[in-house]
Chain A
């Protein structure tokens, strides 16, 4: 519970009553000679981490630094590979930090995405990652890449880095996916 101390702000006095309510007393001098009163408010529960209470920039930077080693590896095998890094967010997830690897044949359909997603569910954060097709949704790799951790900055940071490291290991999967000559464009 949020437990404010008794304090005075200008002419307003606040006091916790019975550990459950916050009483705000307003003296007559504020409202006018004929008015005075006390308003009662239930105490709010300590809020779970909200989207705004996290430093998503630092998590994104850390994930990108790790995924950068994957990009270097892929480029060392296929120097013509086009790629870019990015991040996204939506109502369902405050952070999706990713690298896009485009197909070697120049087809712009369904590039391969290597990314880490963080979603918040109350006091729990779900950190997941995969190597997948941007449009098809085909998942090439996601083994062990889903964690649930307490919804705290450090726990999310560590989990995101851990998942990013897992995604860096199977670089050959990315290379195979962007080289796939049997790749079929699926209309939707």
Chain B
């Protein structure tokens, strides 16, 4: 069974790379990383407008060190259906040094190997009905 998550916007490298600070600092109940959702349109945070685009990522196709980390919605900051894609250490913790290295390439012409891993797991582009 595949584990699909959705990220609003284009399939461009920048949109598949986390932002420094915003995506590299976690909060209670939520790991830092590239934000995705298990449902494409139902969460207001995803906010794909009618007719809008989202990229579909198959988490089972992600190669290590990247993993999908689900929020703990019972904790403050955790959101139901939110999944962070982040590099992890062998013991399962977020590799913050590597995450920041990855985020530092956003907006540059350099494509980080972790962005390439996400691209290889990007299996479809979907549109929200108008």
User: Given that A130-B53, A137-B53 are contacting pairs, would A98 and B10 also be in contact in the complex, using a CB cutoff of 8 Å?
Assistant: yes
Query: Is B122 located at the chain interface by the 8 A CB criterion?
Result: yes
Taking a contact as CB atoms under 8 Å apart, the answer to whether A91 and B120 are in contact is: yes
Query: Is A64 located at the chain interface by the 8 A CB criterion?
Result: no
Interface SS, A side:
strand
Taking a contact as CB atoms under 8 Å apart, the answer to whether B119 and A138 are in contact is: no
One of A88, A92, A93, A186 near B47 (C-beta < 8 A) = A186
User: Given that A88-B13, A186-B47, A188-B45 are contacting pairs, would A135 and B8 also be in contact in the complex, using a CB cutoff of 8 Å?
Assistant: yes
Contact with A along B49-74 (1 / 0, CB 8 A): 10111111000010000000000000
User: Given that A88-B119, A96-B11, A108-B107 are contacting pairs, would A137 and B52 also be in contact in the complex, using a CB cutoff of 8 Å?
Assistant: yes
User: Across the interface, which residues of A come within 8 angstroms of B75, CB to CB?
Assistant: none
Cα of A139 to Cα of B15 in the assembled complex, Å: 15
B68 → A minimal CB distance (Å): 15
Contact with B along A87-100 (1 / 0, CB 8 A): 01111110010101
Taking a contact as CB atoms under 8 Å apart, the answer to whether A188 and B46 are in contact is: yes
One of A89, A92, A108, A132 near B10 (C-beta < 8 A) = A132
Query: Is B48 located at the chain interface by the 8 A CB criterion?
Result: yes
User: Across the interface, which residues of A come within 8 angstroms of B55, CB to CB?
Assistant: 90, 92
Taking a contact as CB atoms under 8 Å apart, the answer to whether B53 and A96 are in contact is: no
User: Across the interface, which residues of A come within 8 angstroms of B56, CB to CB?
Assistant: 92
One of A91, A100, A139, A188 near B53 (C-beta < 8 A) = A139
User: Across the interface, which residues of A come within 8 angstroms of B13, CB to CB?
Assistant: 86, 88
User: Across the interface, which residues of A come within 8 angstroms of B127, CB to CB?
Assistant: 139
One of A90, A96, A132 near B52 (C-beta < 8 A) = A132
Taking a contact as CB atoms under 8 Å apart, the answer to whether B52 and A139 are in contact is: yes
One of A92, A110, A187, A188 near B11 (C-beta < 8 A) = A92
Query: Is A117 located at the chain interface by the 8 A CB criterion?
Result: yes
Cα of A117 to Cα of B53 in the assembled complex, Å: 13
